Amino acid sequence: MSDALLQGIFLGFVLSVFVGPVFFMLVQTSVSQGIKAALVLDAGIVSSDIFCIALSYLGLAQLLQRPAYSFTFGIAGGLVLVAFGVYTALKKEKVHTEKIPPGLTKAHGIKLFIKGFIFNTSVPSVIFFWIATVSLSIAQFQNNRTLTVTYLTSVVLTYFAIDILKIYLASKAKKFFSGEREKTIKKLAGIALVIFGAIIIYKVISGRF
């Protein structure tokens, strides 16, 4: 049990230091909308991961390992990332001089949660990563459900905890990213998403994904 827990914590830590499209979206949201908004967004992202893990464990996600499904899913996911990136970089927002309100409206919270869920699920590498991780964990722990669930749970909880730390630090650094700097961060986040999406599309078309 302890071995599965420690291995899961290690993998969760490794995942947390990976700088991908989700990282940029979390930082941008924390800086522009505050800690609570970023936490709700991250809750949607983590829920997406749990959804992908469940699909992988049940074997349904194995369909995506077929070439036709893999190609379609890869292209669609890449296009979604590009669309998110363009929208993030070009969207014009009103300049607010007041501080971010301490609470979120229910509607906006639901919107952020759904955005995080859809965004994370649309990244092809996410579902393929969890397919590989779940398959390896089942094999490693000899299909022991308790050990497998312990391992996967510790992975998710570890990187979620570190995500919270990232969100907190980004929010505290907001004063250094006000005005034009905040706009620059937003544009850079959008450009990063476009680049990630374009790379995915290129790899899928060239058969390297």
Q: Are 196 and 66 in contact (CB under 8 A)?
A: no
- pLDDT confidence of residue 148: 85
- pLDDT confidence of residue 98: 39
pLDDT at 36 over 70: yes
- pLDDT confidence of residue 101: 47
Tokens 């952020």 belong to 112
3-state SS, residue 66:
coil
Number of domains making up the chain: 1
pLDDT at 39 over 80: yes
| pTM given for the model | 0.69
- pLDDT confidence of residue 195: 80
- How does the average pLDDT of the chain come out, rounded? 76
Domain that holds residue 90: 2-205
pLDDT, one tens digit per residue, over 89-140 is: 776 655 443 344 455 788 888 999 999 999 888 877 777 778 777 877 776 6
- pLDDT confidence of residue 45: 92
Quick one: which of 129, 166, 154 has its CA closest to 10? Answer: 154
Q: Are 65 and 131 in contact (CB under 8 A)?
A: yes
Q: What is the mean pLDDT of residues 151-160?
A: 90
pLDDT at 209 over 60: no
